Chains A and B, each alone.
Chain A
């Protein structure tokens, strides 16, 4: 809305981009301030993270003073978090730090938790770039999760489960599309309705088919790749780290990463992507040059449902190996936040998904510390808190598609 002004920023000025880089360095310094207090470096003096954090603040203020508020405030926030976290970490017992911060575990868990978020966020990108708000990602994920489990059970193969899950997600998205495109319903209300429907439908079928026994224990599951050869990469520390982190990677994680690249190319480098984006920015203009706005929007929303369903598929037959009622637990909304945080761009969404995945990965790690066992529920709230703060901090500075949320009326 008001962020539209930012598009008028002059491009290509080397001085301005140099200042912007200062801000980016500031963000990195903030992260560094935290990092040096953690294993394996584990600085024990408070001064070190504080000094680095002050440098980050300085970079941030320099960037703000020269009109790069967005990056600058990011650097200031990062510097403050780095100083606080770093100072706190130097006061904590080393043994606790080592229980919590096992980088290979943290990174591999972050990837695992980021995978469903990435699928859903990329799915959301297709829908929202075409101008249709998709609050219903949560429901589409849930449909994918249930029908993948059911399909895998029925067909006896994970491929069948994956296909059926995707179709189910796409069908739910089709309902959302019909109501928000042709019937011009409020897209937020329609999206919510779709979530409620998904809760009811998956719960009904789950109780009807599986009942109290739950999904069978021998569900076919999506294969994981054994990337043990990573361990032979020199030097040995790097090799070991890579092996511990990526040694067992699910096919779906790789697929998610590939999807980010593919969707970037499709959305920003092909005529199809241009059409999708034009329907989201100025549907009347798109209509004038002969693009079927309704057609593009239908296709985008249905694609979005199928992709979000893939996230659910990963949850049920890739990660948990079972289905439970309402198992998506707000992940669709976190994915939506990741999409906004990533400024409606694939790589941005991936980065945000990794951030939220990391927050989630901290939960089991923090529980490793025995004296903190009572706080496990508080740690579970962490990803939601991070999402809340991220959304609050970034919105207004991102650039949503101009026509998002508005039904298009043909002339």
Chain B
């Protein structure tokens, strides 16, 4: 059974660094496939207007489609060109929770993410998704600079 790596990307250059590292790892492992995952930050406890709720299903489809076209498909194509087996997943949710869930569902041996380049005040206060992932993941996590 081949090893499976989850690569969390966010459309920023940091995601590319995570992909680069994953490619290197996959080649070293040999029999290995990759799952490229993009998590759209979403909380079921956020407050919305009635109009936003009425449009939500449509917006969700648009969000998934946009990410699929602009981020996931190019990443999977790049990995395929490099001769690696790769698939893509787009989900809504809490980034750390969702990546960990995907890793469990896919039977992955490792999660690879890049350290977020953009810190910001809120991340300093509430902690970043990367920190939460490292703290709570069920499989080893590699954080690429």
Q: Do A and B bind each other?
A: no
A-binding residues in B (CB < 8 A): none
